[in-house]
Amino acid sequence: MAMASLVSPSYRFTLSPSLTPFRSLPSRVRAFRTQTRLRLSSTMSQAPPPLPDAPASSGDGEENKQENDVIVQYVVLRRDLIGTWPLGSLVTQGCHASVSAVWEHRDDPLTVEYCSPDKIDSMHKVTLEVKGEPQILNLAEKLKAGGIAHKLWIEQPENIPTCLATKPYAKSTVSSYFKKLKLCK
């Protein structure tokens, strides 16, 4: 297996596959990544400076609070359609619901912040799944009863509820509605 090397004037970095998960990613990084191990060889005895985007940990749970207050959009797909619809069609359903929820709430302060030029490249979405049509309809009713703005996408002309997406919310506001759902895989 080939290893990638990055060389800088005072450090030599070698990347190789690893089974060790990332432990200290900045809280704004949410993507799944191929895990790698970074080996650092240096003639310098001091550690490299911290990454500029990495938040300093205060050790009092502040980091956890910040993570929970990130603005996030939840997208929920029906698991029963994953096996029967083409993948592209199902992804399209999620896109329809997501865009529709954002557009319907385009003047909402959290939506404006979520789509702002300085945050447009770091949007947070959580894609989950429910078993089938009764479960997605039940979730839509629970969200409606809780005052959580969302879009239940109903594919036409078939009249099939396929996907649900919330407007962007602070994670701490809406995560309790989704804690029992599985990540869509």
Q: Is residue 28 within 8 Å of 19, Cβ to Cβ?
A: no
Beta carbons within 8 Å of 170's beta carbon, 6+ residues apart: 68, 69, 70, 71, 72, 110
Give the pLDDT score at 69: 87
Span 42-63, mean pLDDT?
45
For a pLDDT cut of 90, what percent of the chain falls above it? 61
Closest CA to 78 of 24, 25, 22, 153: 153
pTM of the predicted model, to two decimals? Answer: 0.65
Cβ atoms 97, 127 nearer than 8 A: no
CATH T-level assignment (fold) for domain 70-183: Bit1 (3.40.1490)
Residues 120-152, buried b or exposed e (16+ Cβ, 10 A)?
Answer: eeeebebbbbbeeeebbeebbeebeeeebbbbb
Of the chain, the percentage scoring pLDDT greater than 70 comes to 63
Q: Is the pLDDT of residue 131 over 50?
A: yes
142-151 pLDDT tens trace: 999 999 999 9
Residues 6 or more apart whose Cβ sits within 8 Å of residue 96 = 153, 163
Residue type for position 92: T
- The three-point CA angle 166-168-170 to 5° equals 115
What stretches of 1-127 show up as alpha helix (H) in DSSP?
Answer: 62-68, 79-82, 87-104, 109-114
Domain boundaries, the chain: 4-65, 70-183
Q: Are 154 and 162 in contact (CB under 8 A)?
A: yes
Neighbours of 72 (CB within 10 A): 23
